[in-house]
Structure 1
Amino acid sequence: MARMFVEGDEVVVHLSLRERAAARRGDVRAPLGSVSRVTVEPSWWRALRGVPHKGRWTAGTRCIGTRTYEGGSDFVAIRHGRPVVCVEFRDPAPFRLLATSVATLAEARDRARAISDRAPDPDTSTPCRQPLPVPEEDDENTALDQRRSETE
């Protein structure tokens, strides 16, 4: 099973040989300084977003590989029925999210805490992942803010 940990100044997802073959890539690395939030998702399927891009997806069993969506791409190595450690990133990280399953909820919390404690500036305002931005809403909010400032 994939393991996520901090090595030096990077968050690393170490894949087994079988997982490397399924994901069609080696270990995943992202800069620790880009960590924006670390959360635990008890429901494995909630860690998934976007559409499968490269990897192996067995419905209701496991998902390993890259998923893409309008805001970027995620790397997941998750299994059905297990809690997931989710690490969100800011630019210039290669992924917006790294998500890996762990055996128990207690282990997931411990692993998330270990990563969060080593990250230089994680957002701890809420234990939940943030919703994905919707470009149409961002454009409307910007236009509304501009109209308000012009009338003031």
Structure 2
Amino acid sequence: MKRDIYAYLTSVVLFLAIAFSIFLVISDNEIPFTTQARLKIAPLNISTEVSGHIEKVLVKEGKQVTVGQPLFELDSSQYSLAAEKAQANVLLAQGQWQQADRYLARIQSLYESASASKEQLDEATANKQTKAATLQAAKADLKTAQRNLQ
């Protein structure tokens, strides 16, 4: 009787061991069991809208980031200088435009009194238009420099 119980228990344990082994083999084919895993992720190239020297890295390598999250800070000293230079160029261009405007008004007055030629009037008009275009370009450069500074 004891022998029958041991034989029965041995058969059950052996059957369970074989069934569990078969389960492991089948399930390992579907989803392998591993204690280590490696992922291959393609490197992602990132760039800035402006060039410059990196002053501070704000994230660690391998960390997850979100869209729009700052990754590093650039040295802004060269952009500050560029913005100051652009501001000075705007002031210079404004002064030149104002001078050209006053000169044109003077030449128009002289032209109306027949003391200046048509050629002088045309030159003064063209000079004012040139100075206006220079002022407009200087203002655009200032906007670009201020945007780069941000």
What range is the shorter-chain TM-score in? under 0.3
TM-score where L is the length of structure 1: 0.18
TM-score where L is the length of structure 2: 0.18
Higher helix proportion, which one?
2
Higher strand proportion, which one?
1
